[in-house]
Amino acid sequence: MLNNLVKALRLSWLNQHEENTLSFLQQFKEMLLLKLITGFGPGNYHKYRLWQKDMPWQQKLGYWHDQKYYRFLNRVNPLNYRMLARNKVIAKAILNFYKIPDAEYLGYLSAKGSFSTDGLPLNTAEELSNLLQQRPDLNKICFKLVDGSGGVGFCAVKIVRDNTTFYFQELGKDINLPIADYINQLLINNKGCDYLIENYLEQHADLAVFNPSSLNTLRVWVGKTKAGTPKIIGIFLRVGRAGSLVDNTMWGGLVIAIDPQSFTTTHIVPLETSGSCFRNHPDSGYDITRRQLPFQQHVIDLAEKVTDILPKTRFVGLDIAFTPEQPVIIEVNLAPSAIGASAMNMSHQQLLGWLEE
């Protein structure tokens, strides 16, 4: 507690002269009041950027600390269902059963035994080469940890074809590896872990422009009324850093606020820091503001449909990518990170309170 307070006060002292920032004494006063009234600690004060002058006090009172947020999740999304949805095989099975668009499933990779969608074995380089031989349309494939999250363990490769011999080239690298070497290395580096093999999605040009190396996705928060009707809560865009394959913030990814009415980008939100919002990608300098995103109504319809089919679930965070043809589901999160509220510049109470009324 003391360390968090010292760190928060130091940040307040450093940022007090920035635009739209309260004075040091006012920030200190608010930290104390929030701790006394709601239990919201000083470390969270900067995490959610509550130092903003134009943020109403009533809104600040509506932010939840992590313990309160997870108590909320336990009430609206039972823990056993949340843990079930973390398994990508189960999530993909549900999506495929309801014919909801997602990345094409090609196979299952495991040290205990691998197989393709039709049940044929994929235990050797020859067997995997036979699959690729039958699919000349495949240019890139990716490997996702079955029980992974946050982009951990994600790998993607370009398929290099040399007559009947195949090599894998990791995206962003120039080295061709024999299939057997790559698979063995993958399984050794993540011993005991299983992977889904999927067709790598080529994203819509309007999303690739933000950062071409990563698959940039929308995070859509959706709630379900007590009557069972889905309702869009909020949307923001996640964009990767130069050279990164993923857009997750734990790997340095950026969060971009979205105007929900126009479906256009507004600014980059520096999550979990004391900085002000900005407009240019820090690696490329690309101005991300006022960019029109495609498929607005399709995204809304897709998000509502997925939420509608999930059992015992009233709140979900969906990761949605855009191919040139349509939006597709990348991941279903039944415990999305609470920090998403900061990207929408609204408190947890404003965004989620109605789910318990």
Please compute the mean of the pLDDT values over residues 295-305 and round it to a whole number.
98
Q: Report the pLDDT value the prediction gives residue 119, as an integer from 0 to 100.
A: 93
Which of 154, 171, 199 terminates a domain? The answer is 199
- From the list 245, 169, 240, the residue with the least C-alpha distance to 201 is 245
Q: How many domains does the chain have?
A: 3
User: Which amino acid is present at 116?
Assistant: S
68 occurs within a structural domain: no
347 and 241, same structural domain?
A: yes
69 occurs within a structural domain: no
Q: Report the pLDDT value the prediction gives residue 186, as an integer from 0 to 100.
A: 83
**Hey, what are 52's tokens?**
């903003």
Which of 149, 174, 199 terminates a domain? The answer is 199
Domain residues for the domain of 140 are 105-199
- Tokens 């997925």 belong to residue: 306
211 and 188, same structural domain?
A: no
209 and 190, same structural domain?
A: no
71 occurs within a structural domain: no
pLDDT at 227 over 70: yes
49 and 117, same structural domain?
A: no
Give me the DSSP letters along 256-277: EEEETTTTEEEEEE-TTSSPPP
The per-residue pLDDT for range 237-252, each reduced to its tens digit, is 999 999 999 999 888 9
The per-residue pLDDT for range 96-148, each reduced to its tens digit, is 999 999 999 999 999 899 999 999 999 999 999 999 999 999 999 999 999 88
241 occurs within a structural domain: yes
Q: What is the mean pLDDT of the chain?
A: 93
Which of 168, 199, 230 terminates a domain? The answer is 199
User: Which amino acid is present at 135?
Assistant: R
90 and 227, same structural domain?
A: yes
Q: Quickly state the pLDDT bin for 86 (edges 50, 70, 90).
A: confident
217 and 178, same structural domain?
A: no
Distant-in-sequence, close-in-space partners of 120: CB < 8 Å, separation ≥ 6: 127, 131
305 occurs within a structural domain: yes
167 and 148, same structural domain?
A: yes
179 occurs within a structural domain: yes
Q: Report the pLDDT value the prediction gives residue 273, as an integer from 0 to 100.
A: 64
* Pair 205, 324: CB distance under 8 Å: yes
285 and 219, same structural domain?
A: yes
pLDDT at 84 over 90: no
Question: Which CATH number covers residue 348?
Answer: 3.30.470.20
Q: Quickly state the pLDDT bin for 209 (edges 50, 70, 90).
A: very high
243 and 346, same structural domain?
A: yes
Please compute the mean of the pLDDT values over residues 22-35 and round it to a whole number.
96
The per-residue pLDDT for range 319-329, each reduced to its tens digit, is 999 999 999 99
CA–CA dist 131, 135 (Å, integer): 6
Q: Report the pLDDT value the prediction gives residue 68, as an integer from 0 to 100.
A: 97
Q: Report the pLDDT value the prediction gives residue 357, as an integer from 0 to 100.
A: 79
122 and 32, same structural domain?
A: no
151 and 264, same structural domain?
A: no
For strands 230-239 and 217-224, give the pairing. antiparallel
Q: Report the pLDDT value the prediction gives residue 153, as an integer from 0 to 100.
A: 84
70 occurs within a structural domain: no
Please compute the mean of the pLDDT values over residues 61-70 and round it to a whole number.
97
pLDDT at 191 over 90: no
* Pair 185, 283: CB distance under 8 Å: no
86 and 22, same structural domain?
A: no
